[in-house]
Amino acid sequence: MTVSRRLFFALWPDDTTRRALAAEAQRLAPLCGGYPLPAENMHITLAFLGNVDEARIAPLVALAQAWPALQGEWTLDRLGHFPKPRIVWAGSQASSPELMALDAELWQALARHGFTAPQRDFTPHVSLVRQADRAAPASRLPTPIRWRFDRLALVESQLDNGGSRYRTLACGVD
């Protein structure tokens, strides 16, 4: 029997950014008819890999650990809604060249390990509210949130009755 784990590469916010995102999620949940994501789960997914066989994980850990330190900043000022998965999210009106380049570089590296990039454009966002019946009443965040990112993380998603639990398996260089 082959053992697999559900993996993705992500960026985690610092504590100040996490608190600001959690406050927005709490504010928006009653307006959108859903529930706020736990603050500890808030992140930007760069590359969702899905279920990965155990034998393929060690090279991914090595890739994450060897990833050079990042120096980027992203300003979240926009709210959006994905109707099918019923998610309200925060993102940016303007494209982030740093995030776009990081996403492209990461998928190039993952291609060397047999992973294929999705056939859709990368839309950096942070999920704030799940089971949202409707979009946020405004399309802009009342106060923009600045997010400085400094390292890439390989993360495992474990699903249980309480939802998703995330465990960082490896991080890039500080």
Q: Encode pLDDT of 99-142 as tens digits.
A: 999 999 999 999 999 999 999 889 899 999 999 999 998 999 99
Q: Which two tokens stand for residue 13?
A: 């916010």
In a domain, 155, yes or no: no
Catalytic choice (12, 24, 77, 125): 125
How far, CA to CA in Å, does 9 sit from each of 103, 119, 136, 152?
10, 17, 27, 7
In a domain, 163, yes or no: no
Catalytic choice (43, 74, 136, 170): 43
Could you give phi then psi for residue 5, rounded to 5 degrees?
-130, 145
In a domain, 130, yes or no: yes
Contacts 24+ apart (CB under 8 A), 111-116: 113/56, 113/59, 113/60, 113/63, 114/56, 115/47, 115/49
Its sign, for the CA torsion 135, 17, 6, 118, is positive
- Is the pLDDT at 170 greater than 80? The verdict is yes
Lowest mean pLDDT among 2-6, 29-33, 79-83, 117-121: 2-6
- Please give the pLDDT value at position 159: 83
- Is the pLDDT at 162 greater than 80? The verdict is no
Cβ neighbours, 10 Å, residue 156: 15
In a domain, 164, yes or no: no
As for how many domains the chain has, the answer is: 1
What is the spatial distance between Cα 64 and Cα 61, in angstroms, rounded to a whole number? 5
What is the spatial distance between Cα 63 and Cα 17, in angstroms, rounded to a whole number? 26
In a domain, 115, yes or no: yes
Domain of 145 in residue numbering reads as 12-52+69-149
- Please give the pLDDT value at position 69: 87
Q: Which two tokens stand for residue 119?
A: 């056939």
Contact at 8 Å (CB) between 14 and 39?
no
- Please give the pLDDT value at position 95: 85
Q: What is the pLDDT of residues 23-75, one digit of tens each?
A: 999 999 999 999 999 999 999 999 999 999 999 999 999 999 999 988 888 99
- Please give the pLDDT value at position 23: 97
Annotated catalytic residue 81: no
Domain CATH code at residue 104 = 3.90.1140.10
- Is the pLDDT at 1 greater than 70? The verdict is no
- Please give the pLDDT value at position 34: 93
In a domain, 161, yes or no: no
What is the spatial distance between Cα 18 and Cα 171, in angstroms, rounded to a whole number? 18
DSSP secondary structure letter of residue 115: -
What is the spatial distance between Cα 163 and Cα 34, in angstroms, rounded to a whole number? 14
